[in-house]
Structure 1
Amino acid sequence: MQITHERVMELLASIKHPAMKQDIVSLGIAQEVAVEGNAVSFILRLIEPNDAFGGSLLRACKRALEAEYPGVEVRGSVQEAAPAKVEAPPRKGGVAGVKHIVAIASGKGGVGKSTITVNLAVALARRGHRVGVLDADVFGPSLPLMLGVVDARPEVINDEGEDLIIPVEAHGVRMLSMGFFVSPSDALVWRGPMASNGLKQILHMGLWGELDYLLIDLPPGTSDIHLTVVQEMSLTGAVIVSTPQSVALADAQKAISMFSNHEVNVPMLGLVENMAWFEAEELPGKRYYIFGKGGAESLAGELGIPFLGSVPIVEGIREGGDSGSPVASADGPLAQAFDGLAAALEAQVNR
């Protein structure tokens, strides 16, 4: 009797899976059925992991085929189902609940990047946003001092086997810094990979929760830390801080180039000019452009990137940073300057 593919399929369809109560053809278990002369080959691909009926189904198929075609060569095999993938429970730490992650960078140290970061964070919080700050300047963490929480120590908890660091909150801003874990008088002597790993730990163990903005205060220049931040999270964009003087602008341009590099490709949200001018209290309206005039705004125009605004060099801003009371947390012209920066950043993020 000639063996036909159609009849073989009918015979296999007569075999029902004992537990599923349907035939193995309808269930899609019988696959790759082929007839070659006096031989019939097929694979039984089981649906459920650890299915105990694979062997009995194979034997039933052989019996049906041999009864219909005496002397037939049956080449059947059983393929176990892949184990069910167990989904890991969602992590509570990390930045999954953060809407916008913004890197604050500068090509050069001493331009007031951390001052801008702290006051910008406070200004965003005063505008009704949920804000966090990560002090990524591992070797020179200054945010605990500037937010008035030098003596604070973040609580570390274990939640269902996951170690979590609860950020310190000040002026409506959640913040974590390496400065919380080392003595203020001790120098942190780490090679690049150690510093990067330390930052990763703080970032991913941080119980940030739901945030509208997480500002990352990066170290000056371009380093392993910058690459770690870019690789570990999806940045909304970067803000570059510079003074108006040429030497600072040259380094700011390098930082802009790094973020714009095709391998990094982080959007440029804008440039901030810090220490733009000095105005003496006894001579209101008389501005002294100590570091030059409008250099950052001109550079932004040349490069085609947004200019977020200027901040003057004022004793009150320095005093606020030293005392842990950012000027953006109070009212007055200085707070309005940082509120303007916050509004400009919002506009760029929401474009």
Structure 2
Amino acid sequence: MKKKIEKALKNVIIIDNKNIIESGLVKKIDLLNNEIIIHLNLSNPAMHLKNKLIKDITQSIRSQNISDTIRIKTETEIKSYTKIKPVIKNIIAVASGKGGVGKSTIATNIAVSLGHMGFHVGLLDADIYGPSIPLMFNIENKSARLQHKNGIINPITSYGVKILSIGFFSKYGQAIVWRGPMVTKVLRQFMHETNWGELDFLIVDLPPGTGDIHLSLLQEIPLKGIVIVSTSQKIALSDVNRSVGMFRIQSIYVPILGIIENMSYLSSKKTKEKCFFFGKNGVRDFSKEMNLFFLGEIPMLQKIREYSDLGIPVVLENENIRNIFLNITKNIINQLHE
């Protein structure tokens, strides 16, 4: 019986293309009163990965015509990997007060713009509950390409940018239901156990709002500065006000490099007339009120939406939009040296 079970377990493959027997995940197999108890030692505690593994093991054993009750016990193995020390000159976070203001689109195109300017760039998707960066580069569900060695993750490179996101480890649209400590653990691994190499810039795409992830990152990562994204809508600026307050708290202070007004206006091709859909100059006026540098405005353009949906950074395809982002990116760099 045990040999049949071991044969079934050899058909269960994990990320590095080894089966769970070869990888040492199976600690032991107990057979007791028509019950099969499989003890697993997991290095990755993510719930969705554990559930997938249990499902695959159960299906593989059932395929051997074994009808005994299957019980799988798991424990998380805490390995003391040697943390690598990447050489990252500037870590900049892109934040917003609320969702839906285009923060991930801007983080993506700033990262690619920096690459176009000759810098070595990484992009860390820190929005654990709503990762958008894989869609922005059309590389979702590519965890098989993330090579693990001694617990170290190699990010995926796309359009010259090194990228890492929890979205690479989950199915499209799958809910990530984690408590704060689990999120902190994963972010720490993404930062300290990832082979970022030598980077001039690491852009961190933060989740919207002011929560646990923000506090964990501010404590864990030596940020050089924050770039804030907002529309001119009053409700968006109200939430941005809270974000500014958080970053200016003395105990977690991080300099705010400036604020970007996204979806600033719609422009008629025929009349060249501008329609300020979310309000006129709201972010510009807010920046003066809060003593923030105004980094620039990005109009509401269909091309930006179209290329984002295709998973292609729009700065690669449209010269006018490229120039808008290049100017904003240059302003960010200038603010770093103020």
- TM bucket normalised to smaller: 0.7 to 0.9
**Partner of 1:258 in structure 2?**
246
Fraction of identical pairs, as percent: 41
Q: Check if 1:337 corresponds to 2:327.
A: no
Q: Check if 1:172 corresponds to 2:163.
A: no
C-alpha separation between the residues in 2 aligned to 1:314 and 1:89? 46
**Partner of 1:296 in structure 2?**
283
Q: 1:221 aligns with which of 198, 209, 212?
A: 209
Contact 2:109–2:314 (8 Å) recurs in 1: yes
Q: Check if 1:274 corresponds to 2:262.
A: yes
CA spacing shift, 1:89–1:106, aligned 2, 3 Å? closer
Give the C-alpha shift of residue 282 in structure 1: 3.8
TM normalised by structure 2 equals 0.73
CA spacing shift, 1:89–1:144, aligned 2, 3 Å? closer
Contact 2:265–2:276 (8 Å) recurs in 1: yes
Q: Check if 1:114 corresponds to 2:104.
A: yes
> What letter is aligned with 2:324?
A
**Partner of 1:212 in structure 2?**
200
Specify the SS of the correspondent of 1:99.
strand
Q: Which 5+ residue runs of structure 2 have no aligned equivalent?
A: 1-79
> What letter is aligned with 1:306?
F
1:7-65, CA deviations, whole angstroms, 9 ceiling, x for partnerless residues? xxxxxxxxxxxxxxxxxxxxxxxxxxxxxxxxxxxxxxxxxxxxxxxxxxxxxxxxxxx
Q: Check if 1:145 corresponds to 2:132.
A: no
TM normalised by structure 1 equals 0.71
Give the C-alpha shift of residue 90 in structure 1: 7.5
Specify the SS of the correspondent of 2:251.
coil
Quote the RMSD (CA, aligned, Å): 1.6
**Partner of 1:199 in structure 2?**
187
> What letter is aligned with 1:119?
N
Q: Check if 1:155 corresponds to 2:146.
A: yes
Q: Which 5+ residue runs of structure 1 have no aligned equivalent?
A: 1-87
**Partner of 2:314 in structure 1?**
327
CA spacing shift, 1:302–1:330, aligned 2, 3 Å? same
Give the C-alpha shift of residue 207 in structure 1: 0.6
> What letter is aligned with 1:180?
F
C-alpha separation between the residues in 1 aligned to 2:196 and 2:205? 16
Equivalence map 1:19-38=2 (5 Å): none
Specify the SS of the correspondent of 2:124.
strand
1:153-183, CA deviations, whole angstroms, 9 ceiling, x for partnerless residues? 242332xxx4211111111111100000111
The count of corresponding residues between Structure 1 and Structure 2 is 258
**Partner of 2:116 in structure 1?**
126
Give the C-alpha shift of residue 262 in structure 1: 0.4
C-alpha separation between the residues in 2 aligned to 1:282 and 1:273? 24
> What letter is aligned with 1:287?
K
CA spacing shift, 1:245–1:185, aligned 2, 3 Å? closer
Specify the SS of the correspondent of 1:138.
coil
Specify the SS of the correspondent of 1:263.
helix
1:218-241, CA deviations, whole angstroms, 9 ceiling, x for partnerless residues? 000011100111111111010110
> What letter is aligned with 2:183?
A
- Range moving further from structure 2, 108-117 or 185-194: 185-194
